[in-house]
A and B are shown apart, each in its own frame.
Chain A
C-alpha cells in the first residue's frame, strides 16, 4: 500500500488585490485608508461589498492526495494557482483556510539561483545556496565535486558569480538544486532556462529523481516536458482542480480549455497579467483579405492584427508563437525596429505585423501577446489567439507536417544524382 506524503484538505488562499498590485504601501496610505474606512463605517451599506471586490481566490477548495513516488504535473493558465499551491506546500505562505499536511523533507525550487549572491564566488555560492535550499554543510561537502562537474564551471570556482555569463550562473544554480535530495521535490518552471543541451541534462536529472521513487510536483507551461516527466496531471483553473487524471488526459483537457478561451472576448478574460491600463481587445490572424480567419498556409503571407483599447506614445506590442505542445517557436516585437517598419497613424488602435511568408510546418499554433506602455507590462495574454497552418509550398517545394520541428527554412539542394 502506498502512503500519502502530501495531503491538502480544502485548501483555499485569498489574496487581497490591493496588497498584491500596489507593492509598496506607505504609512500615509495606511492612515488614509484607515480614515476612509472609518468614514465608510459612518455610512452603512457601503463597506462589505467593496471589500469583497478587492480580493481574489488564488486557490479554492483544493483537496489532493499525493502518494510517495508520484510525479505530478501541475498545469493551468497564468493565475490558476499553481505557484500558490507550491508555496503553501513548501510552507512559504499560509492558506486562508484548509490545510496541507506533508510527510518528509521538502525541497522547493521555485526559482533558479535562490540565495545566490553576485559578489560571492562560485564556490561560496554553492555553499550558500545549498544551505538555503535545505542541505547540510556535510551534504554539500560530499557532493561538491559532483555539483561543480554538473555545472561545468570548474575553472571559475573562485571567480565572483557576477563575472559569470548568465548561462554559467544558471548552470551552477541548477546544479546545486539538482543535487538536493529531499523526499519531496517542488519545481516551478525552472527548466525554461539555459541552453538546449543543458535543458536536456536537467530533464535527465529530473527523470532520475522521479525514478528513484521520490515525489515530485512539477509546474510547467511546456506540455512536451510535462508529458515526458509526469505520470499524473492536475489541471488547475481559477484556483480549482478541474482535472486530476493521467497526464495525457489532463493535458488534453487543458489544451481544450485553452482553445475554448481563445474564442472568448479578450477583454472578458480574467487570467491575463499586467497593469491593465491598456488592454488587447482582439487578435486577427489571416493569410490575406479573402482567406478564412485563423488559417495560414506554409510559404504564403500572413497578417497579425492586434486591436488595443487605446494607443499611447512608446507603446509596443510583442507576441510569441507556440506549437501545440506549448513550446515557443519564435517571437516578434514591435520595439525592436527595422528599416522596413513603418508608422501609420491611420491604423487607429491597432498594431499590425505582416509576414511575407509563413515559415512554419503545418499544424496548430498558439499566440501569446504582450502589450507594453509607460515602461511596464500592460497586459500579457497567454493563448490570446490560435491559428492553423495548412500544407503549402516554399519556393515551389511542398511542405508537409514532419516530426523534425516546427519551422522550415528556405533552401536549395545541389544533388550528385537525379533522384526525383
Chain B
C-alpha cells in the first residue's frame, strides 16, 4: 500500500481536482496532464529504493564481461592524460600555466570523464530501458539519474589516482578543495539536465545516438582541458563560463593542481549555466514523459 499511497494525485485542472476530493478517497487519478508537469517529491521519495537498485544494476552491468573490468574507470582518463601530455604538452608545447602538464590535464579529465560518461549513458538510458518504460510505472527520471550516479562511482575511482598524482608532484590541495563537493554537484547537475533532455529526445528521434558522440568530442575541446585560458581577455574569459564544465575544470585545477587563482566570475556564470541546463532538461523531460510509453 505504502508505495502508491504515497503517490500524490496527478495535477488536474483545478475544478475537477476538487470534484475528485469530494468523492471517494482514491489514491491515484490517471488522466491527461496538460501544461507544465508537477514535481512530485513524495513520489520520488517513495520510490527511492528503486533508484538505488537501478544504479546498482548499471554499475554491475557496465563492466561485465570485460577483461579489465572496473579498471576502465581509471584507465580512460589516465590514457587520455598520457596522450594529451605527449601530443599537447610535449609536441605542441601548449602552455599549462606553469603546472606540470600531466596533472594539469588529469585534474581536468577527472571531472570531464564524470560528465561525459554520465551524458553518454544517460542519453541512451530511456531507449535502453524500453522494456521497463512500456511495462511498469515508476518515476522515469530515475532511469536518467541512475547512469549519472553510476558515473559518479567511476569518478571516485579516478579521483584516487588524482590524489596519487598530487603526491608525486608534491602539490597540496588549496583552500579551494573545500568547494570540491560543489564542483562535483555542478557536474552532476549539468550532466543530469543534458542527459534528461537527450534521453527524452532520443525516445522520439534516434538521431540522438549519432549526435551524442560528436557532441561530447566537440565539448571536450570547448572546455579548457588540454589548454589554459589564463591569457584570455575579458569579457571572453567570463563568457567561457557559459560552458558549465569550464568552471568545474578551472575549479578542480585551483583546488587540487596548484593553479594560482580561483576561477572567479567565470565560476558564477558556470554555476548559473549548469542550473539552467538542469532545469531546462528536467522540464523538457517532464513535459514529454507521459508519452514515452506510447512513442518509444
Contact = CB atoms under 8 A, between A and B. Distances in A.
A25 interface: yes
A133 B26 contact: no
B29 interface: yes
A292 interface: no
A24 B130 CA distance: 13
A128 B136 CA distance: 13
B1 A183 contact: yes
B48 to A, nearest CB: 10
A19 B137 CA distance: 21
B30 A99 contact: yes
A120 B27 contact: no
B49 A105 contact: no
Interface string B260-296: 0000000000000000000000000000001101110
Interface string B156-186: 0000000000000000000000000000000
Contacts of B207: 26-28
Contacts of B135: 92, 108, 110-111, 114
Contacts of A26: 205-207
Given A93-B293, A131-B53, A88 B136 contact: no
A15 B295 CA distance: 10
A132 B54 CA distance: 9
B39 to A, nearest CB: 17
A134 interface: yes
Interface residues of B, number: 42
Given A7-B26, A24-B206, A131-B49, A108 B293 contact: no
Given A26-B206, A132-B138, A105 B60 contact: no
B75 interface: no
Interface string B13-44: 00000001000111111111100000000000
B49 A136 contact: yes
A94 B137 contact: no
Nearest to A110: B135
Nearest to A99: B31
A114 B57 CA distance: 14
B132 interface: yes
A131 B294 contact: no
B76 interface: no
Interface string B117-154: 00000000000000111111110000000000000000
Nearest to B206: A24
A25 B294 CA distance: 13
Given A27-B205, A110-B136, A91 B30 contact: yes
B4 A88 contact: no
Contacts of A128: 53, 56-57
B175 to A, nearest CB: 41
A103 B131 contact: no
Contacts of A269: none
A114 B131 CA distance: 7
B32 A104 contact: no
Contacts of A136: 2-3, 49
Given A115-B136, A137-B49, A94 B28 contact: no
Given A94-B32, A94-B290, A104-B1, 10 more contacts: A7-B26, A91-B28, A95-B31, A100-B29, A102-B26, A103-B25, A104-B5, A114-B131, A134-B3, A134-B4
